[in-house]
Amino acid sequence: MESLMAYVVGILFAAAIYMMLRRSIVKLVIGLMILSNAANLLIFVVSGMTRGAPPLLPEGADAPLGIVADPLPQALILTAIVIAFGVLAFAVVLIRRAYEVVGTDDLDQMKDTDT
Amino acid sequence: MNLELALPILIPLISGAVSVALWRSVRYQRILAVVATALLLAASVWLLRSTVDQGFLVMEMGSWPAPFSIVFVSDILSAIMIVLTGIIGLAIAIYSLASTPSGHEKFGYYPLMHLLLAGVSGSFLTGDIFNLFVWFEVMLLASFALLTLGGERAQMEGAIKYVTLNLFSSAIFLSAVGLLYGTVGTLNMADIAQKVASLEDAGMVTVVSMMFMVSFGIKAAAFPLFFWLPASYHTPQVAVSALFAGLLTKVGVYALYRVFTLIFTQDVEYTHTILLWAAALTMLTGVLGAAAQFEFRRILSFHIVSQIGYMILGLALFTPLAIIGGVFYIMHHIIVKTNLFLVSGITYRLLGSYELQDLGGVYKERPMLALLFLIPALSLAGIPPLSGFFAKFVVIRAGLEAEAYVITGIALLVGLLTLYSMIKIWAEVFWKETPEHTKSLSLLKGDMKKSHAWAYYVPVVGLAACTLYIGLNGQPIYELAEMAADQLMNPELYIEAVLGGAQQ
C-alpha cells in the first residue's frame, strides 16, 4: 500500500509541475492546487500508514493497547489543507483580476515587470 | 509564562482585529496603527532586555511539556529580529499616514499591515518547525493582499510570479517537514536537533536539509531562486515596498540561520559549501542586475538580492566571527534598505516618477533630502563610519580568516559595484538638472502639504539616525551580535533551554 501511495505522490508532483510550466494562468493555479495536495499526501505516507486503528484509549487504560494511528500527521494535514484553501482562494481571485486587467491568460504576455 | 514573549505576536494580532472592527473609520485605524507599532517596539525592547538578562526565554503553549507542545523561544537572534521588526513597523506606520492612497486605506491596508507584522514576529519566535510554516503562511497571505492592493497591471503581473514562487516554496517546505517528521517523529526544533544528531541515516537528513535550503532560499531570494523579487517589489505603493524590503526576505534568512545552525550541522562540509557558492553568486548577480537598471526601486530591489548574499555568506563560512558578521549585517541591512525605499517614495512624491531619466535636480532644491539619501546609500556601499562599513568589515575579515579568498574577493568587488549603483542614483536623481518634461509636474519648488511632510520625513530621519548610531557606536551592537553568534554556534544551549535537560 505504501509503495503504491509513494507512486501516487510522485505522479501528483510531476503533474503539478507540468501544469505550472504551461503558459495559461488557469493551468498554473490548477498546478498549485495539485502541488499542495501532493505535499499533504506525502506527509500522510511518510509518517506511516495504519489501517483501522483510531488513537483512542479504552476506558480506564493509560496507554493504547495495540498499534494505533499517529494523530499528529492528520492534524498537520488538516492545518495545511485549511491554509492551502485560503491561499488558493486568493490565487483564483488574483488570476481573475489579472485576466481583467491584462486582457489575456497567457503568461508570455505578462512580462512587463520582468527584467 | 513570559508575557514579553507573547506580546510581539499578540499586539499586532489584536490591533489587526481591532482595525477590522474599525473598518469604516480610517482615522481611528491610522491612530491605532501608530500606537500599536509603537507598543510593538516597546515590547520588543523589553523582550531583548530580558533575553539578554535571563538567557533563553521559553513559553510552552497550553502548559504541555516541551516536545509535545508548541513552544515559543526567544534567543538573542530572535529578540534582535523582533526589535528590528518593531523599528520598521513603526517607521512604516508613520510613513503610511502620508503616503498611502486613501483608496488603499479603505480596503484594509492597516489590518493587513498588522497581520504581516504578526506573521513576521511569529516566524522569529516559534520553536516548532510546523508552526514556522503556519507563520510563514500568515505572513505570505498578508503580503499577497498588500502587494495587489490597488490592482494595477504591473501589480497583477508581479503578483502572479510572487504568489506562484512563494506557494511553490511553501509546498517544498511542507514536504520537507513531512519527511523530517517521518524520519525523527517530532516537530519541536530542539528535539529534532537532538534526534538528528543521533540518527544513523545521514543521507536522508542531508536530502531534507537541501529541501529546506531550497525553500528558504526562495523566501530569502538567494541565487538562483530570486527572480520573483525584482519582478514584484517595485510594483506596489512605496510603503508596502519598503516594508517588504525590510522584513520579508530577512525572515527567509533568519530561517536559514535557525535550521542550519541548530538542526543541520551534521554535514557542514557539504551543505555549507553549497550555501557559500549560492552566497557568492547571489551577491554577484544581484549587483550586476542592479547595474543594468534605470528605475529607482528596481535598482534597490536588485540590491536586496545582492545584500542577502552577504548575510548567507556569514552563515556559510560557519565560523564564530562570520556568524557575528552575518547577524550584524542583518541588523544594518534591514534599517538601511527600508530607509532607501522611503527616500525613493519622497522623490516620487516630489517629481512623480521612479524612472531615473524623469528625475533630477533634487539636491538644488532639497539639500537636506539629498543628505538623507546619502547616509543610507553610502552605508549600503560600506563607507566608514556608517553601519555598513562595520558589517562588511566583520564579514570580510571572517572570510580572510577562513582563507576563502575567492569569496572574499567577490564580496569586496560587490561592495565597489554597490557604490557604483548608489552613485548612479545620486548623479541622476540629485545632481542632474530637472528634465524639462517633468518640470511642469514637479512639486520641488512648492511646499509639500505641511501635514504630510512630517510623516514623510520623521521615519527617514529616524532610520538615518539608527544607521549613524550603529556606525558611530558599533561596540554594543557588535557585542549583541557576538552573544547571538555564541548561542547559534552552541546549539546544545538552545536544546537544553527548550527541553530542560529532562529529555535524555
Spatial distance between the Cα atoms of A2 and A12, rounded to a whole number of angstroms: 15
Residue A10: pLDDT above 80? yes
Choice among A5-9, B339-343, B407-411, B449-453 with the minimum mean pLDDT: B449-453
A100 in any annotated domain: yes
pTM, full prediction: 0.93
A64 inside domain = no
Give B292's contacts in chain A (Cβ within 8 Å). 115
Q: Length of chain A, please?
A: 115
Q: Is A75 on the interface with B (CB under 8 A)?
A: no
State the residue range of the domain holding A33.
2-49+70-109
Asked if residue B501 has pLDDT above 60, the reply is no
**Mean pLDDT on B329-353:** 91
Residues in chain B closer than 8 A to A95 (CB atoms): 160
Give me the number of domains chain A comprises.
1
Q: Indicate whether A115 belongs to any domain.
A: no
Mean pLDDT of chain A: 89
Determine, yes or no, domain membership for A25: yes
Nearest-angstrom CA–CA distance, B247 and B126: 17
Minimum Cα–Cα distance from B235: chain A residue: A113
Q: Which residues of A touch B151 (CB under 8 A)?
A: 97, 101
> Is the CB of A43 less than 8 angstroms away from the CB of B181?
yes
B59 — pLDDT class (breaks 50, 70, 90): confident
User: What pLDDT was estimated at residue B450?
Assistant: 53
Share of chain B above pLDDT 70, in %: 96
CATH of the domain at A33: 1.10.287.3510
Q: In chain A, which residues have their Cβ closer than 8 Å to the Cβ of B128?
A: none
Find the chain B residues whose C-beta atoms sit closer than 8 A to any C-beta of A: 130, 133-134, 137, 140-141, 144-145, 148, 151-154, 156-161, 163-164, 167-168, 170-171, 174-175, 177-179, 181-183, 187, 230-232, 234-235, 289, 292-293, 298
pLDDT per residue over B144-177, tens digit each?
Answer: 999 998 888 889 999 999 999 999 999 999 999 9
The minimum CA-CA distance between B156 and chain A, rounded to whole Å, is 5
pLDDT digits over B206-241, tens only?
999 999 999 999 999 998 889 899 989 999 999 999
**Dihedral-angle region of residue B161 (phi above 0 means left; psi in -120 to 50 means alpha; beta otherwise):** alpha
The pLDDT value recorded for residue B502 is 46
Task: Give the gap in angstroms from C-alpha A47 to the nearest C-alpha of chain B.
Answer: 4
Residues 21-60 on A with a CB inside 8 Å of B are 25, 28, 32, 35-36, 38-40, 42-43, 46-48
Quote ipTM for the complex: 0.94
Distance from CA of B265 to the nearest CA of A (A): 23
Using CB atoms, which residue from B159, B177, B181 is nearest to A94?
A: B159
Distance in angstroms (rounded) separating the CA atoms of residues B410 and B478: 24
Question: What integer pLDDT is reported at residue B443 of this predicted model?
Answer: 65
A98 touches chain B (CB under 8 A): yes
Q: Mark yes or no for CB contact B231/A115 under 8 Å.
A: yes
With cut-offs at 50, 70 and 90, classify the pLDDT of residue B504.
very low
The predicted pLDDT at position B445 comes to 60
CB of A64 within 8 Å of any CB in chain B?
Answer: no
**Dihedral Cα B132, B135, B136, B139, nearest 10 deg:** -160
| Residue A54 belongs to some domain of the structure | no
Closest to B289 (Cβ–Cβ): which among A86, A95, A115? A115
Q: What is the CA radius of gyration of chain B?
A: 22
**What pLDDT, on a 0 to 100 scale, did the predictor assign at position B21?**
93
Cell matching residue B322: 562570520
Q: What is the pLDDT, as a whole number, of residue B78?
A: 94
Interchain contact, A101 vs B145, CB within 8 Å:
no
Cβ proximity of B83 and B451 under 8 Å: no
Q: Is the pLDDT of residue B1 over 70?
A: no
Secondary structure of chain A in HEC code, one letter for each residue = CHHHHHHHHHHHHHHHHHHHCCCEHHHHHHHHHHHHHHHHHHHHHHCCCCCCCCCCCCCCCCCCCCCCCCHHHHHHHHHHHHHHHHHHHHHHHHHHHHHHHHCCCEHHHCCCCCC
Pick the range with the lowest mean pLDDT from A8-12, A108-112, B12-16, B271-275. A108-112
Q: Taking CB atoms and an 8 Å limit, are A87 and B167 in contact across chains? A: yes
Asked if A10 reaches chain B (Cβ–Cβ under 8 Å), the answer is no
* Chosen from A108, A111, A113 to mutate, greatest number of chain B CBs within 10 A: A113
pLDDT of residue B448: 59
Q: What mean pLDDT comes out for the span B420-432?
A: 90
Assigned domain for A58 exists: no
- C-alpha to C-alpha distance for B115 and A51, rounded to whole angstroms: 40
CB pairs under 8 A between A and B: 112
The answer to whether residue B369 scores a pLDDT higher than 80 is: yes
- Average pLDDT across chain B, whole number: 90
For residue B223, the SS3 value is: coil
The answer to whether residue A17 is domain-embedded is: yes
Q: Give the residue from B180, B181, B186 with the most A CB atoms within 10 Å of its CB, the best one to mutate.
A: B181
pLDDT in tens, A18-59: 999 999 999 999 999 999 999 999 999 988 887 777 888 888
In the predicted structure, residue B442 carries a pLDDT above the cut 90: no
Decide if pLDDT at B76 tops 50.
yes
Give the pLDDT band (50/70/90) at residue B503.
very low
Give the residue-averaged pLDDT of B71-81.
93
Q: From the list B157, B178, B289, which residue is nearest A43 (CB)?
A: B178
B90-127 pLDDT, tens per residue?
999 999 998 888 888 888 899 999 999 999 999 999 99
Q: What is the distance between the alpha carbons of residues B386 and B466, in angstroms, rounded to a whole number?
A: 10
Q: Is A65 part of a structural domain of the chain?
A: no
C-alpha cell read off for B392: 562588511
- Judged by phi (left if over 0) then psi (alpha if -120 to 50, else beta), residue A58 lies in beta
Average the pLDDT over each of A97-106, B321-330, B440-449, B486-495 and give the range with the smallest value.
B440-449
What is the distance between the terminal CA atoms of chain A, rounded to a whole angstrom?
48
Query: 3-class secondary structure for B64-105?
Result: CCHHHCCEEEECHHHHHHHHHHHHHHHHHHHHHHHHCCHHHH
B250 pLDDT tier (thresholds 50, 70, 90) = very high
C-alpha cell at B236: 506596489
**Would the pLDDT of A66 be above 90?**
no
Half-sphere exposure (Cβ direction) of A35: Cα atoms closer than 13 Å: 26
Contact B339, B426 (CB under 8 A): no
Name the residue in chain A with its Cα closest to that of B163: A91
B188 within 8 A of B195, measured Cβ to Cβ: no
